[in-house]
Structure 1
Amino acid sequence: MSNAEKAIVYASLILADDGLEINADNLQAITKAAGVTVDPIYFGLFAKALAGRDINEMLMNEESEEESDDDMGFGLFD
């Protein structure tokens, strides 16, 4: 992942943490303030990809783990 892509991801996290809308203008403002040069197409792409999604919920969403053999009541050498 390039520094520009990382900057947009971090900008998205900052906006979500502050409860602000994740849109192209806000993403551009944060990356500009950070002094990071980003290809303008990324702002729109990230804004569209995250539209209507709650980043905090995405971060907190845990994948359910598969049951191991121990959890199923039997093991390899039973």
Structure 2
Amino acid sequence: MASTSELACIYNALILHHNDVTVTEGKLNALIKTAGVTIEPFWPRLFAKALANIDVNSLICNVGAGSSAPAAAAVVSTTAPVAAGEKKEEKKQEESEESDDDMGFGLYS
């Protein structure tokens, strides 16, 4: 779970980005001070350095996508065989349950 300091920096970085303002340590500190939040002094510097060379739009849009588009394409292309494999496993499981019933090991015999 994120601490109050982390959340303050995250929200303020999003506010700055939304207003097309570059995220810097000074601007984060100014917003945090205006909000009246007390945080450890290293957080704004850490967030400013982390977001210095990153496109925040792509960061927001690809939160759950992973590291690259080819990886996402690979996941999509492998879902069809996995779904077919699951059907085969279900069929095998049903057959094994029937064989247990035939031997007298059924749950409600």
Q: 1:58 to 1:38 in 2, by over 3 A?
A: same
Code of the aligned partner of 1:25? G
Counterpart check, 1:20 vs 2:21: yes
Structure 2: which 5+ residue stretches go unaligned? 66-71, 92-109
Equivalenced residue count is: 76
The structure richer in helix per residue is 2
> TM-score when scaled to structure 1?
0.83
Over aligned residue pairs, what C-alpha RMSD do you find?
2.1
**Distance (whole Å) between structure 2 residues aligned to residue 32 and residue 47 of structure 1:** 16
Kindly report structure 1 stretches of 4+ aligned residues shifted beyond 6 Å: none
Structure 1: which 5+ residue stretches go unaligned? none
> TM-score when scaled to structure 2?
0.62
Counterpart check, 1:75 vs 2:84: yes
- 2:12 aligned residue: 11
Q: 1:74 to 1:54 in 2, by over 3 A?
A: closer
**Distance (whole Å) between structure 1 residues aligned to residue 11 and residue 59 of structure 2:** 15
